[in-house]
Amino acid sequence: MVDCSVRIIAKRTLGTFWNRYPRARGPLEAWHQEVIHADWTSPSELKAQFRSASVLQGSRAVFNIAGNQYRLVVKINYAYRIVYIRFVGTHQEYDQIDVHTV
């Protein structure tokens, strides 16, 4: 049997964020649970599951969390099913970063 679950590196980043913003905990945990059971092999499969996500160049994606209150930027290695958390922050903090280099 092949394990198709996604590894997320690093969940600790999410925990650090929701310790600062407790309202983010539930939505981030829900995102985490959904993603670890995903089996994406391409950006189009990600987009089919998360219609509000923005797929960017360089295997990056931006997720709207808690009704777009928070943003989560990840880099995805589809072949190895690894999601690297690159940024999690408020919408205001997101506006201060370059999603292609963070």
Q: Select from 3.30.450.20, 3.30.2310.20, 3.40.50.1110, 2.30.30.90 the CATH code of 7-94.
A: 3.30.2310.20
70's CB contacts (< 8 A; 6+ apart) are 17, 21, 24, 27, 28, 64, 88, 89, 90, 91
pLDDT at 3: 55
pLDDT at 86: 96
d(CA 32, CA 88) in angstroms, rounded, equals 13
pLDDT at 4: 61
Angle between helices 11-20 and 25-36 (to 10 degrees): 170
pLDDT at 74: 97
Instruction: List the domain boundaries for the chain.
Output: 7-94
Instruction: Tell me the pairing of strands 82-90 and 54-56.
Output: unpaired
pLDDT at 15: 94
pTM of the predicted model as reported, rounded to 2 decimal places: 0.91
Average pLDDT per block of 10 residues along the chain, 102 residues long: 74 94 96 93 94 94 95 96 96 93 90
21's CB contacts (< 8 A; 6+ apart) are 70, 90
pLDDT at 1: 41
pLDDT at 5: 83
Q: How is the beta sheet containing 60-65 ordered, strand by strand?
A: 7-9, 82-90, 70-77, 60-65, 54-56
